[in-house]
Structure 1
Amino acid sequence: MSDGPFISDISSHIWDTRYRYRESGKTIDLNVEDTWRRVASALAGMERRDKAIWEQRFYQILESFRFLPGGRILAGAGTSHRVTLFNCFVMGEVEDSLDGIFEALKEGALTMQQGGGVGYDFSTLRPSGEPARGVGVTASGPVSFMRIWDSMCATILSTGARRGAMMATLRCDHPDIEIFIAAKRDPGALRHFNLSVLVTDDFMRAVREGADWPLVFPLSGDESIGEVVERTWSGSGKPRRCKVLRRVGARALWGKIMRATYDYAEPGVIFIDRVNRMNNLWYCEQISATNPCGEIPLPHYGACNLGAINLTQFVRRPFMVDGDLDLERISATVGTAVRLLDNVYDLSHFPLQKQAHTACASRRIGLGLTGLADALVMLGIRYGSPQSFALGEKVMEMICHSAYRASIDLAREKGAFPAFQADPYLAGEFIRSLPVDIVQGIRRHGLRNSHLTAIAPTGTISLLANNVSSGLEPIFDWEYTRRIRGADGGLSEVNLADYACRQFRLQYGEDASLPKAFVRADEIAPEAHIRMQAALQSHVDSAISKTINVPAEFDFDAFRSIYEMAYDMGLKGCTVFRPNPVTGQVLHANGGSVEKQCCSIEREAD
């Protein structure tokens, strides 16, 4: 193995173009160690005491890419740039009025200008064709206004701001749901958005029963009333009286969602009732949107604060029969990483005061992992095998429990997050699944952070860390081509080698045959992807961003069954990608197949 931090030109390029600090034409970070020291020093500066000790500990986990904080942290901490260190936000409710819509647009523009991606739930906008209140015209519907957001994003990007990312969600019972489903059939439409349908338990039940499904919208008091039902609508934690505008077959609507994602990769699906039922802050939040990649469901004006443990750096005796993971060292790294991410709240700017208030009330963080597939290969374990599921779950369980214990210790030292209320918090479904000592510790001391775990896509920071496999994704290929954006904004294609493969070649020579543990993403059955995600989800209090890749010739009924399996196995969301002529492509395998991650190169989370 190389002694230097970078073992490939692309990793050095990513650092130089995305994370290296320059000011007024002067290069401040002379090497990546300077970047690590800058970040460690800035975040340790938030400590009340022992700043030098914490700076050294933060540096040690950043060193050699053992811990990868979100890209905004790497790029912004310790600089003079007035930017947010939070990667993504969910914005406020889009009020169903022209003033409210353009106020929400302005807030999104200000957030994106500082480098934050944004998520919106457009379910609060009345459907197309319905009378607009008090102005004698008819509404044009949510999708028409989403096009304004898309143009805004493109305009913000043209100013040189960081590449933008947006998520749009719509309820499965909104009358414009079919328009939303078809919105990205045109290759040029809404290119700066990811789309997801908010799917309820009632809808899934109606799909399986073959029942009719009412499409509804809340009554405002001035409509003629026909059939009325109650729904807990977006923006309200209490049931509201909603007018039934029409009915469709639930199976037919589900089929349209599935056909759209089969044909052009969107929309994704968020099982929103499960998200809210499992939310640690169920007693004071209602969630109807996520950050752009879906791993952090958030309330209005919530923010995501992400980081990942790079498992490849904890493999002892790689490619040997007695190789293993240093779990104790992982646990220790998690404890320090929780503190580092918690300090981001005290260092970062926020584009809006509402975001600062909401984010600091919960201090939620999303600590996850990356390099899982490479670590499995280095341990001789084939991704998709029962052994791989067991090890993945074991590692994520350790990360989760270590993070909660660290947050209890921080609460004892610095105080619990402001929205903490012991009795309702401890009654939460996820919290009740934790070990007894953690539950007792929370009752005695509180918790510094309302949420602690999430698994994000780590496309760019995984490239920075010498191209380790991203998040919990399998290895795409040993060698492949990827589009990369340069400092001038232009795209170029670069050849990449997977980290584990490179390490094996260095250890055993270029001509050595790869062991059976080396397996490509397209060799793994979709069911195995789902089982891996489900194994880790039980120890993730937020959510997981994962893309299940299937070949172009994959059967439609089998494709549809993946989503139904995801629902049955307790996942909070699902994204399946099938190569198609509408969606752009990021990675090219040697054999010519393609993979699209849940975010394109235009909309990566890091």
Structure 2
Amino acid sequence: MSSAVTAPSPSAGTTAPVEDLQVIKRDGTLVGFDPSKISVAITKAYLAVEGEDAAGSAHIHDSVQRVSGQVVRALSRRLHAGGTVHIEDIQDQVELALMRGEEQRVARAYVLYREAHAAERARLAPVEEHPSLTVTQSNGEKRPLDVGLMKHQVREASQGLDSVDPDAIVDDAVRNLYDGIAETEVLNALIMTARGRIEQEPDYSAVTARLLLEQLRLEVGQTLELPLDLPLAEVYPKALSQLIETGIEHELLHPAMARFDLRELGGALKPERDLQFGFLGLQTLYDRYFIHHRERRIELPQVFFMRVSMGLALQEDNPTARAIEFYDLLSSFDYMASTPTLFNSGTLHSQLSSCYLTTVDDDLEGIYGAIRDNAMLSKWAGGLGNDWTPVRALGAHIKGTNGKSQGIVPFLKVVNDTAVAVNQGGKRKGAVCAYLETWHLDIDEFLELRKNTGDERRRTHDMNSANWVPDLLIERMRADANWTLFSPSDVPDLHDLYGNDFRKRYEEYEAMAERGDITLYKTVSAKQLWRKMLTVLFETGHPWITFKDPCNLRSPQQHTGVVHSSNLCTEITLNTSQDEIAVCNLGSINLAAHIVDGELDRERLERTVNRAVRMLDNVIDINYYAVPQARNSNVRHRPVGLGLMGFQDALYRQGYAYASPEAVAFADESMELISYYAIRASAELARDRGAYESYEGSLWSQGVLPIDSLDRVRDSRRKGDFEVNTEARLDWDAVRALIRQYGMRNSNVMAIAPTATISNIVGVSQSIEPAYQNLFVKSNLSGEFTVINPSLVNELKSEGLWDNVMVNDLKYYDGSVQQLDRVPDHIKARYATAFEIDPRWLVEAAARRQKWLDQAQSLNLYMAEPSGRKLDDLYQLAWERGLKTTYYLRSLGATGAEKTTPVAAPQPQVCSIDEPDCEACQ
């Protein structure tokens, strides 16, 4: 209707260009002056008098142009040098212009239109002026604090949440306000007040999120000039089209994003899904994910998910339909893409991949080339894993200069400082992990990189490290035999050998050393080396323990190369070489969302996996590659890593304790289903899109699936060194037949990442982790957040046990219910926290998952009171159960405050285990 009316232009006699004017909205925010909105309002008034059939008539068009021009000229004359004008003043000028033009009937219709809108605003938020407090508007003027608006905002945010007290939030917030406070800070005061109540009632997290959403809407609405007085269902489509237009104009989004049917996409948005957010999730998106222009956000949550989906659908045959399909998956929280994908999808630099693995060559060009690659990859939000095993050891001969090598440590210092300097595009800390095989002669210094004592020039406090352990070391350790350390310059092929081939060649090199054919070596006790590895792991948290042989023996791609390391978070096991930097593209299923009425919804899980695999495969072709070796590898092999999160929440919803046979069985069952659907989905993609380039010769092409590859590890080990459950429930022959017919689209399909950040967004437990505590303060780059276990609260409520005393007890006992006599034993068992669970349960559950995975999993191990014996038993168990990798060893301090008497209002314990690098992949 209004599109037929063009905005009037002021006459040459006006003194202030209309583009210099700003309008003060009723909420005090400023927006640019838009004459077309005046035309729209006047047109509606004319049509109210003359009927909708008159739309587009020349008479109405001319009349609207005439009246609008009068209003614009009047405003321009009043504001000689530009400035601000209140929206009510503009509407007064419209009424005056209509009356002067003797359009009494139209003027009356316009007055009625204003009154109807004012009445609706009054109904929703009746004005209730505070008797003494005032607020300062953006133009500097003061007006009374509108308590009625505050009540309206909180009551809107509290809808459907019976456990919250909206009036108490308003009362507490008002008590903390001061006279003359900036009007924009009033809503923030409500947010902070609601936030402070989360520890008493988890529903306050939703209230806080909804108030933050209102703040976000105001910010985005002002930036994009959106009509926020409309229902969200009408605002969202406009917000999407405005984002795309503004993003392309300011080179924040790729021009191809304009090729979608934005009207259809806008109609597919589901504003009600904003209500799924908790405070931590929405605040994380606000701080670090939403696109912003000039420090102001220009994305609303559902627009954000649609933007990501559009970026992933750019090369689909029907991109609009696929974008809607992908949006529905992301916005439902059934699945979440990894952080780089959420950051960069649809942008000019769509670096969507999560992890990069490199091998460092043994010369200066290779070493500094690898450091440069680290910087370029880290810039665009990639987590890094570097294989340093080929670089010669300290004291090795340098043929070119006839000198001796300084070993790997001085170069690792440069790697450490590069990770600090190139902080992932200013969005989060850069993160890298260096891997070294345990036969390398520099292993002693490598183990001490994170120590707080010694020569600081040989310490790397900001990077991670991991041992790449061959099975032979474990065998020698168990036999209390010796172990020989070499420089790779003397034993270059050991780097590429594994299993029985490694064992044979290693023993040949030992014989050469005994004969004097190799002079640079060192013989140590395998048991003493193993003990030192565990000791420094406990003391410094590094190097992590990862296992070379199962990573290679079970790799589908062993025909094209060797897995020389894992990645930053130890879940990726891909080949690397001088010509190929391995790349993995990650995303995670929200397992908890697929538990319906206490059971795993297989149909929903199948649908999620099918869509997720397609989205991940699309990343490979859309991705921005900062270095050519990454493109070479990714395009040739097309690996993806579908993982999961919310495992602990899924157990809660089924009534299982983490430390139980039921949890281990569920880990097995759920991972088999995901594996089955994911492998089948990749084969079906191969049917439609073709198999990946290096498919022929892979284990897939030989009919060997992940569950079948267990035999290869068993055959390479001594009897009793490999004890793994091999039970299967599904018809895997059908999947084998599909692969024989079509091949696989992806060389690798699954990997379980830490999900440190995306699990916060979705509001579920991290990855496969047990609950850290039931009440604690989580600290990350977005600040500190009170986290309380809603499942526990609901159970305690059902038992009539949730009250302020219980809150204080949880604070006092650091989120534990084990020492609370009034809590029933069955609740204590289900809500045992990470350090209250025997870590062997974590290993047993991980082993059941590992048998179905073609890559690995980020497995943190928790031990409240570590000892040498306990650590030895735990890591040997991990090896026996066929795990490919382990991640952090988490332990509690040796001492703590003795708690024998009550304390007044203690604060929840702050979580310090969420290492910044955990977020680099997800």
TM-score, structure 1 as length reference: 0.89
8 Å CA contact 1:483, 1:601 repeated in 2: no
- Which residue number corresponds to residue 450 of structure 1? 747
Provide the alpha-carbon RMSD of the alignment.
2.7
For residues 499 and 276 of structure 1, do their structure 2 counterparts lie closer, same or farther at Cα, with a shift above 3 Å needed?
A: farther
2: distance between equivalents of 1:337 and 1:478?
A: 31
Equivalent residue letter for 1:8: G
Q: What is the deviation of 1:212?
A: 0.9
Q: What is the deviation of 1:518?
A: 2.3
For residues 549 and 594 of structure 1, do their structure 2 counterparts lie closer, same or farther at Cα, with a shift above 3 Å needed?
A: farther
Q: How many residues align structurally?
A: 574
For residues 507 and 455 of structure 1, do their structure 2 counterparts lie closer, same or farther at Cα, with a shift above 3 Å needed?
A: farther
- Which residue number corresponds to residue 233 of structure 1? 495
1: distance between equivalents of 2:698 and 2:312?
A: 32
Asked if residue 497 in structure 1 is aligned to residue 788 in structure 2, the reply is yes
Cα deviation per residue 1:390-441 (whole Å; 9 max; x = unaligned)? 1121111101100111111100000011111056533346264681111111
1: distance between equivalents of 2:526 and 2:698?
A: 38
Equivalent residue letter for 1:152: T
- For residue 284 of structure 2, give the secondary structure of its aligned residue in structure 1: helix
Q: What is the deviation of 1:293?
A: 0.4
Q: 1:33 aligns with which of 294, 302, 310?
A: 302
After the TM superposition, which residues 426-575 of structure 1 pair with which residues of structure 2 at under 5 Å, given as runs?
A: 426-427=701-702, 428=704, 430=706, 432=708, 435-466=732-763, 468-486=764-782, 492-498=783-789, 500-501=791-792, 511=802, 515=827, 516-551=829-864, 553-575=865-887
1: distance between equivalents of 2:495 and 2:424?
A: 36
- Which residue number corresponds to residue 303 of structure 1? 583
- For residue 310 of structure 2, give the secondary structure of its aligned residue in structure 1: helix
Q: Max radius of gyration: which structure?
A: 2
Equivalent residue letter for 1:122: W
- Which residue number corresponds to residue 346 of structure 1? 621
- Which residue number corresponds to residue 634 of structure 2? 359
For residues 53 and 502 of structure 1, do their structure 2 counterparts lie closer, same or farther at Cα, with a shift above 3 Å needed?
A: farther
- For residue 457 of structure 1, give the secondary structure of its aligned residue in structure 2: coil
2: distance between equivalents of 1:230 and 1:604?
A: 32
TM-score, structure 2 as length reference: 0.59
- For residue 469 of structure 1, give the secondary structure of its aligned residue in structure 2: coil
- Which residue number corresponds to residue 354 of structure 2? 87
Q: Which has the higher helix share?
A: 2
8 Å CA contact 1:174, 1:216 repeated in 2: yes
- Which residue number corresponds to residue 565 of structure 2? 289
Q: 2:892 aligns with which of 579, 600, 603?
A: 579
Q: 2:408 aligns with which of 142, 145, 148?
A: 142
8 Å CA contact 1:291, 1:297 repeated in 2: yes
Equivalent residue letter for 2:476: A
8 Å CA contact 2:643, 2:751 repeated in 1: yes
Q: What is the deviation of 1:536?
A: 0.9
* Higher mean C-alpha displacement, 428-437 vs 104-113: 428-437
- Which residue number corresponds to residue 288 of structure 2? 18
For residues 383 and 115 of structure 1, do their structure 2 counterparts lie closer, same or farther at Cα, with a shift above 3 Å needed?
A: same
- Which residue number corresponds to residue 330 of structure 2? 62
Q: 2:362 aligns with which of 87, 96, 99?
A: 96
- Which residue number corresponds to residue 921 of structure 2? 605
- Which residue number corresponds to residue 549 of structure 2? 273
After the TM superposition, which residues 78-477 of structure 1 pair with which residues of structure 2 at under 5 Å, given as runs?
A: 78-80=346-348, 82-91=349-358, 93-157=359-423, 160=426, 162-186=428-452, 189-219=459-489, 231-234=493-496, 243=518, 245-300=521-576, 301-317=581-597, 323-421=598-696, 424-427=699-702, 428=704, 430=706, 432=708, 435-466=732-763, 468-477=764-773
Q: 1:45 aligns with which of 314, 327, 330?
A: 314
- For residue 129 of structure 1, give the secondary structure of its aligned residue in structure 2: strand
Q: What is the deviation of 1:593?
A: 8.7
Cα deviation per residue 1:346-397 (whole Å; 9 max; x = unaligned)? 1110111110110111111111110010111121111121111111211111
- Which residue number corresponds to residue 715 of structure 2? none
* Higher mean C-alpha displacement, 124-133 vs 443-452: 124-133
8 Å CA contact 2:642, 2:752 repeated in 1: yes
2: distance between equivalents of 1:289 and 1:340?
A: 26
8 Å CA contact 1:113, 1:161 repeated in 2: no
Equivalent residue letter for 2:741: R
2: distance between equivalents of 1:121 and 1:332?
A: 37
Cα deviation per residue 1:527-582 (whole Å; 9 max; x = unaligned)? 1111111111111110010111111x33221122100000001101223222359x
- For residue 169 of structure 1, give the secondary structure of its aligned residue in structure 2: strand
- For residue 60 of structure 1, give the secondary structure of its aligned residue in structure 2: helix
Q: What is the deviation of 1:77?
A: 0.5
**Quick one: percent identity of the two aligned structures?**
27
Q: Which has the higher contact order (CA 8 A, sep 6+)?
A: 1
For residues 118 and 497 of structure 1, do their structure 2 counterparts lie closer, same or farther at Cα, with a shift above 3 Å needed?
A: same
- For residue 68 of structure 1, give the secondary structure of its aligned residue in structure 2: strand
8 Å CA contact 1:417, 1:448 repeated in 2: yes
Equivalent residue letter for 2:355: C
Cα deviation per residue 1:169-203 (whole Å; 9 max; x = unaligned)? 00110001111111111288423322111110111
- Which residue number corresponds to residue 913 of structure 2? 596
Equivalent residue letter for 1:450: S
2: distance between equivalents of 1:291 and 1:383?
A: 27
Structure 1: unaligned runs, 5 residues or longer: 221-228, 318-322, 487-491, 582-588
